[in-house]
Structure 1
Amino acid sequence: MGEHIDSGQDLVGRDDLVEEVVSALSGSQYLGAILIGEAGVGKTALARTVAKHLDGTVSLLPVSASPSLRKVPFGALSPYLHSLSINDVGSSIAVYRSLMSHLDSSSNGSKKMPLFLVDDSHELDDSTSVLLSQLVAGRRARLLALARDKPGPTSEFSAMQQDGLLRRYDVRPLTDLEVHELCRRELGGDVLASVSATLAKMSGGNPMFLLALLRQAKRSGYLGVRNKVWRLVGPAPPLDVSLIDLIKARFRRRTPAQMSVLETLALAEPMPFDALVHCTDRLGVSELHEDGLISIADGRERLVTLSHPLYGEVIRQDVPAGRSLTIRRKVLDVFDQESSTADGFLRFVAWGLDCGLPPDDKTLLRAAVVANRLHDADFALRASRAVHTPELRGNALVEIARAQMTRGHFAYAREIVDEVLDQCTGFTLAKEASLLSIALRVRGEDAPNQIRADVVRWEHIAERIAAAADSPDDPQIKLGLAVSRNGYRIMEGFALNYEGRFREAEGILRDVLADRYCTDEVRLAGLSLLGEALGSTGRALEGTRASGEALQIIATHGNQFVGHTEFVLTRHFTSLAHAGLWDEIEELLDTLVRSKPSGPTSFTGITELSEGLIALRKGLMSSARTSLILGVEGLRESDSNQLMPMALGLAAFSCTMVGDTTRARGYATEFEGCASLGTMQARLLGKVHVVAANALFQGAARSIEELHVLARKAEADSMTVLAVVALELAGRLGDERCFEPLARLARTFEGPEGAVLTAMADAAVRKDPAALMDAAELAQSCGYLLIAAECLGKAVRYLSQRGEEHKSRTVQQKLNTIIGQLEGLQSPQFEAVRSTAKLTQRERDIAKLAGKGYSNREIADAQGVSVRTVEGHLYRIFAKLGITRREELPGADSASTG
């Protein structure tokens, strides 16, 4: 068949489509189906899977069309025309009889319906197309035809579709989530979201291209595995020769005019339609669009691109230097690079550098800025090093330093930044260099004091610039000083947040935000930090409003502030998490991270960390462990917000909760090695979870005491959320003293999480089963399954202690249901809740016999115990399982027990 896709296992993302096609071919409404899609999208693999599902009900007759057979009447049917004489080759009637003879002889009297599976049906000759249409219309056979979207199925098949005889199915490229799943399946392990996102972008979601890229990436070492997690290592290798040949085959038999269009687009895409037509040939553009090789977007400019990301990479390799230079000169006359996408803009600038026709220095500097935003350090260095205008040299050095920081060359970046600040003569450059200096500070020891040193230096530079001005009273100088002052005061607030001194930071941040010279850039930074401070002190809803406003500022300024997105989003996620607004986090991950081409790369680790935190709070333990392991590995690649200490603590705790003690020990040990890095909040959040995880190794009593110490210190320092987390974890370890201070602190919190924790703690303090059941219902409705289970577990215990066994069994049934949803939970610390539903081996044996209808005497004889002992066991079994009759025992035979 035309496309090769492995079909040894179930297709990713095609289950519903397979079911629909099988239904259409099995039912009476349609006589067949047509699968339409681009080459390599998986039509052949889909057809094979459909054929497997139909095995036993149809007689499969594969038909392979091809360009070489298109001029041969009935050539594609030759495998089924053995009885045809040489003289009858041109006779339609003779061909029909020969084909029917083959069908009759191959059926051997069976009633299986013949099914023609026609691959590349768009290449069928007219005679074959007409004959197959007649057979299908006459209900002598059924048809499953595969065709490319351009040029599409034959006219006969199209007519049958329009008449309702054939059902059309469009086979789309894989979504990003489906690409991620196929990567996991092909690599045989967990994969960072940034890896699958990069490969999704390169492959365009085409399964054939994706599999080829994956295999090449493994062979070349571009993909590497660490701690059982696949990640990208080093620069991308050149495309594999076999993949290049496969793509080049799509451009064969193209006219010179069409090749001119393809080459121009490969070098300059995306291009406005009018610009492309002006540089090339209108008819060629139209023909390529009709054949599906180029795409034309809606909109005023009608941007034109090649229809697949890999096409341009292959075509560019074959354009000679002289031809490239000629095309560029044509394009420069008509092409407005401002209309291009970020990737297209960078490609256009790189093309100019390659041709010896570089753009002006301002454009080169802008390209360096864009490349750094996209984490393309190599091109940022290339563009910034080509800037020679003295007035722009300081800005170029800042971009060079930023690129070196991305590469991990922190000492080199520090030297460059210090050089720029020593010679700085402009307010804007002082701001950019100072912010970059602070970004370098957070990666080292004693970050808050180092940040304050940078703030003082920034202040001195601003004063030096003002003093050197011709007129200190110049409005621009005054404005520059005022804006700079707000900038370094914001950084003072950042240093205070870094130390966990949120109340002090709040005052400074509110003052700056109220200042008349608070620019939009300063405002978005101030709002982000204010959101962090509010969220960390129990005012999470107010915090999300502040950081949400910062996100809105970014959204309304195009690409101007896009470089601040990660800084703002990370703090916004934190506030949302403190509030318990999980759906909002998921929505933001979809709209601002996963859906952006550069998003997962720049947010490496943060996506997985957010998903892991959500799963952990919900009690989905296996999912939490997987996501947090991925989050740790992602943050090893990039951790500009210094979240690693928190990620390690959460990962250690999640591993403990599912019984993965080896990883739990490893993460706890690694945490101790980096416990002095990161913000105070991240370090202490990691610390409390490591302490809780260590209960498995050092005993719950010691961990509980450590958690109380941490909670008291956090409360004294106004780190209210941290205190609540420590107390909640103490309660999870079996501590009863924690609930009174937990209720007192959580009562002041905003959002669903505060309400859930308050209800649980209040009910636990009063040991009130009814209140605990109400708290469990609230927790479950808000998605906190683990807290709901803990509340119900306490309610069961208190009801049993009061002798209210009937109510206890009812609550136990609810508890059993929730425990079943706490995927993978094996934590000894949670045994107090689990044990009420966990049967001993003796109890399981007795329950099994009772379920099969054995009497108490028969069970006693089989187990070698007294009847009274059996009765006692059954009483406890019924209580644990929350049931009242033998018929309700797991696996009970109603006929035997009834």
Structure 2
Amino acid sequence: MKRVSPAGKLTRSILDEVLHAAGRELVTARSGGLLLTTSTVFGGDFLLTRVLASADPFYTVSVQGTESFSDVPYAPLAPLLQDSPDIDFESELDVLSAVRDRIQRLTGGRSCVVVVRGPEHLDSASIALLTRLAESPSVGLLIRSGPRSKLPLDLELVLADGFIEEVHIPVLTAADVREYFDSILGATLPMLSSTLVCDVIGGSPVLLEMVTRDGELKDLIQLRDGVWILPRELSLTDRMAERIFSLIADYAPEETDVLLTVALAHQIPVEVAVHFWGVDPVNALLLEGALSREEDAGTIWLRAAPPILGAAIRHQVEPFRSRRLWENVHEHLTDLTNTPGIIHRVLWKLSVGVTVDDHEVLTAATMANRLDQPDTAELLLRRLPSDVAADHSGVFAAAEVQRARTEFYNGRTDLALARLRRLVLSDPGSEVLISVIHFIFQINLATGLGASALSEAIRRHTATGPAGKAYESTLIVRLGRELQQLTAGIIPKNPVVEATGVPQDPREALCWHLVSGELLYRRGDLLGAAAELDLALDLVLDHEHLRNHGGYIVTRLMFLLAGGGFWDELAALQTKVTARRAPWIKRFTGFWELVEGLTALRRGRPLTALAHFRTAVVVLRARDIKQFRPLAAALATYTAWLIGDPSLSDFVGEYRRLTHLGPPERRMLAEAYMAVVGEAPASASTRQRGLIPVEAANPQIRAELSVLRVQIGADDAVDVAIERTAGLSDPRAQSLHTVLTALASGSVSELVDAAEFCLDRGQDLLVPVCLGVLLTQSPGSNSKVVRSASKLLARLDPELQRLHPQLASLRHATRLTSREATIAADVAAGKTAKQIAKQYGVSIRTVDGHVESVLTKLGLSSRKDIGKRSP
């Protein structure tokens, strides 16, 4: 599928490869022609032009099927019959001869491609003649079709016979998009960004190239240190929008109106579209792939597909046309209750000059923030005054909360907190104060900042009178206090969640599951904690008014699962939040790379891990709302140190330049990783306030810290680490405990068992520790030990085998000599010991000795296993 140059880089994109191969196929004698359908990808003419460019025929002639002449034999072939007036149209041979003669005169026997458009309107006689014509080695058919389902039966039969082949335009995966940016555009696109780009373009390689092969791309996507940094909301330049908009230029007026209306409204009920334009244009657009449909609460909604097409339409549609469409359908949009629909309805009204009241603008801005669209929210909020003193309705004060949210979501936490402090001092009213308290609490959970602002907001709300005091005693406030205690390392004496069941109210239930999850986390039950946090996530995904809590839950849950080594559960979670298009994952790009790096490192792929950590560091420099950059820099430093990568000094410098080291537990982890490398802790001016003792950290963090102390070489570190990992049930802690116990005992069998235990639980990075001690304690000539070690080595990722320093002696001990390699090849070829001995003039005993050595070094059990593994 991809052609790779000697340097390992793609010389052409996937689409280039497909179209180039199709073009070359078109001018060979191996097939009669090609069918190019566009049911799953836009840009049929764009693709057709590229195929023709690859084919480079001497002459091209076009044939067009039209509905008005669909029953007239040979009418579409008029361009091929221009200079043949005396044709007997009753004779197929006479018509075929005339067409062949004209092509011969035009080409002189050289290559010719007949481009056929509108094949659904071709008559049977024309199809039969074109098929016969393509039997000539110098003539190829290139049929440009719409959806495959519209092809006439005659063409379907020709296609089934294999005489005409279909060009299969690939639907790209996120991995394809990532490879395209790396190899074609020359820099790394983060994994989550790859998923988001793939979703926006609907996997269309045509749309990918239309966006990325534009000179204005650099104005939309920043390139920093070899990493593409996508903006939160990927906009389009005028040129990009014009290109994409041109893909729908051939649609009929009814189809165009349907598509434009759906795009401007974001989505509309299918019955509205059918009411105005009928079933046929709607079905045609669904078949073409320009519309998608989704069912929600019993209503089938139409959307422009893929999303970037809708964005291009909104960018390009003319105001007059937009106004006309609005006047047609606005009465049917007033009852929209879905968040995107409400936002786009307000934006549409504003764009065509319809008056929108302040409450409606505020609602749309609030919903835009819920969908993690702070740029859209900010645009809407500009229409609302910010003078809270003159605010009698409470709208302007509520708008200030949303302005603070846009600042927080754009990484300006200090500005958000400053705005909220000013708002609290202005006494905005009880309802607004409650929303301020909820928001500052969210900021505090995510970043550890804003504790004083939260206390002041609560104090002022309590002082408002009976309503404030009543609020202080509500379940949600009690749960919030316990959640703060738990995140500070304090387990409440009588937890609320153990005294009450799950509440019915979604917001209270969300807090209940969060507290329950954190409580289990503090008690060392990571899987139980993950289950509670997952229930909280389900509530967020099912209730739009809770969406603002999704970011905290997902980061907490992903970090917990990655830290505990629950790889399958982690993959399921990542699929869940991307498949359901959780809006706030767009702000996780750097954190996502950090988790991918941690996963790769512990699973024994250090070089891959280092690449992820490096990407995470670059992304988090620009946007680090939840303050994971210190840990990313520390993990990158540690990984570079572990494998001796020359980038070590760069990452050390990155860490030293930090002015904030993140929340306490992550800061402790980061400093411990840096201590292993030999970096002293940061100065007191850099270390933030609110430090917690190691004993107050959750058991998972305590276990990691104790193991890192072992690497540093601290006194009694092994005993402390064994104690702290005992009783924990997650795969990571169990693997650590097993390895530490084996190291303390020094038993060869325990070291082997510990290594196998780690491999079975996906903790491959711990295996070299066991193997290093194993070979140190046992002489290299101990064939039993070497064979066991070799078996374990063979199960490790090649990256780890090649790069881990503790495996160097094992690699040396298991390297075959030239004679052993030769004999291993002979055994693999099926030769007996007697045949090999005779071939080399040695004794059978000598051959058997070499074979035994090969088995030992490769960790194999019998001679037949040698044939299954190349030495």
- Per the shorter chain, which TM-score range? 0.7 to 0.9
Distance 1:807 1:35, change over 3 A: farther
Which residue is equivalent to 1:514?
499
What amino acid is aligned across from residue 396 of structure 1 in structure 2? A
- Which residue, out of 778, 781, 784, partners 1:807? 784
> For residue 37 of structure 1, what is the aligned residue in structure 2?
38
Q: Does 1:779 align with 2:758?
A: yes
- Residue 740 to residue 411, structure 1, CA distance change in 2 (3 Å): closer
8 A Cα contact 2:187 2:227, kept in partner: yes
Question: In the superposition, relative to structure 1, how do residues 76 and 677 fare at CA in structure 2: closer, same or farther (>3 Å)?
Answer: farther
- 1:763 corresponds to which residue? 742
The answer on whether the counterparts of 2:64 and 2:119 sit within 8 Å (CA) in structure 1 is no
CA distance in 1, matches of 2:643, 2:121: 57
Give the aligned residue type for 2:458. E
Q: Cα–Cα, structure 1 residues 620 and 399, in superposed 2: closer, same or farther, change >3 Å? A: same
The 3 A distance-change label for structure 1 pair 189 and 839 is farther
Matched, 1:666 2:650: yes
Decide which of 221, 224, 235 is 2:222's aligned counterpart. 224
C-alpha deviation, 1:371, in angstroms:
1.1
- Unpaired runs of at least 5, structure 1: 1-6, 703-712, 854-871
Give the SS at the match of 2:302.
Answer: strand
Q: Is the 8 A contact 2:411 2:623 kept in 1?
A: no
- Does the 8 A contact of 2:233 with 2:375 survive in 1? no
1:492 to 484, 494, 497: 484
Superposed counterparts of 1:419-568, under 5 Å? 419-424=422-427, 426-438=429-441, 447=448, 450-451=450-451, 453-467=452-466, 478=470, 481-483=473-475, 485-486=477-478, 488-490=480-482, 492-493=484-485, 497=487, 501-502=488-489, 504=490, 506-507=491-492, 510-511=495-496, 514=499, 520-525=506-511, 527-528=513-514, 531-532=517-518, 534-535=520-521, 538-555=524-541, 557-568=542-553
Q: What is residue 794 of structure 1 aligned with on the other side?
A: 773
Counterpart of 2:675 (choices 685, 691, 701) is: 691
Distance 1:115 1:395 in 2: 68
Q: CA deviation at 1:21?
A: 14
- For 2:806, the equivalent position in structure 1 comes to 832
Alpha-carbon displacement from aligned partner over 1:33-56 (angstroms, at most 9, x marks no partner): 755334855989999999999x9x
Measure the CA separation in 1 of the matches of 2:424 and 2:518. Answer: 29
Q: Give the 3 Å change call, closer, same or farther, for CA 187–167 of structure 1 in structure 2.
A: closer
Q: In the TM superposition, what is the alpha-carbon distance from 1:198 to its structure 2 partner?
A: 4.5
d(CA) in 2 for partners of 1:150 and 1:125? 15
Map 1:361-760 → 2, pairs under 5 A:
361-386=358-383, 390-424=393-427, 426-438=429-441, 447=448, 450-451=450-451, 453-467=452-466, 478=470, 481-483=473-475, 485-486=477-478, 488-490=480-482, 492-493=484-485, 497=487, 501-502=488-489, 504=490, 506-507=491-492, 510-511=495-496, 514=499, 520-525=506-511, 527-528=513-514, 531-532=517-518, 534-535=520-521, 538-555=524-541, 557-593=542-578, 595-596=580-581, 598-662=583-647, 664-674=648-658, 676-694=660-678, 716-717=695-696, 719-729=698-708, 738-760=717-739
Kept after mapping to 2: 8 A contact 1:62/1:118 = no
Q: C-alpha distance in 1, partners of 2:47/2:801? A: 34
User: Kindly tell me: are residues 593 and 297 of structure 1, through their superposed partners in 2, closer, same or farther at Cα, counting changes over 3 Å?
Assistant: closer
Deviation at 1:633, TM superposition (A): 2.8
Cα distance in 2 for residues equivalent to 1:411 and 1:550? 28
Counterpart of 1:837 in 2: which secondary structure?
helix
After superposition, give the CA deviation of every residue in 1:747-775 in whole Å (9 maximum; x if it has no partner): 22112222222222222211111122122
Describe the shift of the 1:846–1:101 C-alpha distance in structure 2 as closer, same or farther (beyond 3 A). farther
Contact kept? 2:675, 2:712, Cα under 8 Å? no
Q: For residues 223-265 of structure 1, what are the alpha-carbon distances to aligned partners after superposition, in whole Å with 9 as ceiling and x for unaligned? A: 221121111359756434376256336334734x454434433
Moved more, 761-770 or 583-592: 761-770
Deviations 1:356-392 (A, max 9, x none): 3344444332211221123322321233444576233
Match of 2:842 in 1: none
Alignment of 1:224-243 (within 5 A): 224-232=222-230, 238-241=236-239
Which whole-Å CA distance do the structure 2 matches of 1:41 and 1:329 have between them?
29
Partner residue of 2:832? none
Pair 1:120–1:690, CA change in 2 (3 A): farther
1:250 pairs with 2:254: no
Paired letter, 1:417: L
8 Å CA contact 1:714, 1:722 repeated in 2: no
What is the CA-CA distance between 1:650 and the residue it aligns to?
1.3
- 1:866 equivalent in structure 2: none
Q: Is the 8 A contact 2:605 2:800 kept in 1?
A: yes
Q: What letter corresponds to residue 661 of structure 2 in structure 1?
A: L
Amino acid at match of 2:599: I
Judged with a 3 Å threshold, the aligned counterparts in structure 2 of structure 1 residues 73 and 641 are, in CA distance, closer, same or farther, namely same
Q: 1:275 aligns with which of 236, 255, 272?
A: 272
Paired AA for residue 454 in structure 1: A
**Per-residue deviation, residues 305-360 of structure 1 (Å, max 9, x unmatched):** 334434444444565545534433442322245344x4333211111222333444
- Where 1:661 maps in the other structure, the secondary structure is coil
Change (3 A) 1:884 1:134: closer
Deviation of 1:779 after TM superposition, in Å, equals 1.2
Find the aligned partners of 2:421 and 2:483 in 1 and give their Cα distance: 18
**How many residues are aligned here?**
815
Question: Match of 1:570, SS?
Answer: helix
Q: Any idea what the Cα deviations from partners look like across 1:138-169, whole Å, max 9, x if unmatched?
A: 99999885633167434421244568887768
Aligned-pair CA distance for 1:585: 0.6
- Structure 1 residues 844 and 16: CA distance shift in structure 2, 3 A: farther
- Could you tell me whether the CA contact under 8 Å between 2:604 and 2:796 is conserved in 1? no
Q: Deviations over 1:800-826 (max 9, x none)?
A: 28x6x1202312321431355335853
Q: Which residue of 1 aligns with 2:349?
A: 352
Q: String of CA shifts for 1:187-235, please: whole Å, max 9, x gaps.
A: 2121124543453344332212211211336544212211211113597
Distance 1:574 1:306 in 2: 35
8 Å CA contact retained: 1:221, 1:233: no
Could you tell me whether the CA contact under 8 Å between 1:799 and 1:807 is conserved in 2?
no
Cα separation, partners in 2 of 1:189 and 1:800, compared to 1, 3 Å: same
Q: Is the 8 A contact 1:372 1:402 kept in 2?
A: yes
Secondary structure of the structure 2 residue equivalent to 1:271: strand
- Which one-letter code corresponds to 1:157 in the other structure? L
Partner of 1:331: 329
CA deviations 1:684-728 (Å, max 9, x no partner) are 111222222348xx9xxx9xxxxxxxxxx9654455433432443
User: Any residues of structure 2 matched to 1:132-281 within 5 Å, and which?
Assistant: 132-134=130-132, 147-149=145-147, 152-161=150-159, 171=169, 173-216=171-214, 219-232=217-230, 238-241=236-239, 244-245=242-243, 247-248=245-246, 250-252=248-250, 254-255=252-253, 257-280=254-277
Please report the RMSD computed on the Cα atoms of aligned residues, expressed in angstroms.
Answer: 5.3
Structure 2 residues not aligned, in runs of 5+: 1-8, 385-390, 682-691, 827-848
1:433 is displaced (CA, Å) by: 1.0
Cα distance in structure 2, aligned partners of 1:485 and 1:850: 75
C-alpha distance in structure 1 between counterparts of 2:251 and 2:853, whole Å: 80
Q: 2: CA distance between counterparts of 1:723 and 1:85? A: 90
Q: Which amino acid aligns with 1:465?
A: T
Are the counterparts in 2 of residues 489 and 512 from structure 1 also a CA contact under 8 Å? Answer: no
Match for residue 845 of structure 2?
none
Any idea what SS the aligned residue of 2:303 has?
A: strand
* Residues 625 and 654, structure 1, Cα contact 8 Å, conserved in 2: yes
Q: Tell me the percent identity.
A: 20
Structure 2 contact 233–373 (Cα < 8 Å) conserved? no
